[in-house]
Amino acid sequence: MIYLTGRRLGPHQIRSAEFDRCWRGLAPDQVRSHLDRVAGEVERLHRHIRAVEADGDRIRQALRRWQSEYAQRRPADSGPRHGGW
């Protein structure tokens, strides 16, 4: 039986799902094939999420480095600028 836990659903959970049997149920091969296809898509999405999170971390680190370098280069006596460039 499938239980919802509130956590991210993983491909293994989809592939290993068990269903109750009934007399006029669905074709098990078709259900298994569909679940395998869904699990593959979830797996692809998880990889994409990890890649996007890694890119976000890389961009945040680069921004922090740039901000630190900019703060060190900026003259101390120049206050905030108002108006144009």
Is residue 68 over pLDDT 60?
yes
Q: How far is CA 44 from the centre of its chain?
A: 10
CB-CB contact of 42 with 18 (8 Å): no
In this prediction the pTM is: 0.61
Q: Which of 6-10, 32-36, 50-54, 59-63 has the lowest mean pLDDT?
A: 6-10
- At 1, the pLDDT band (50, 70, 90 cuts) reads very low
Q: Which amino acid is at 56?
A: G
C-alpha to C-alpha distance for 58 and 69, rounded to whole angstroms: 17
- At 77, the pLDDT band (50, 70, 90 cuts) reads low
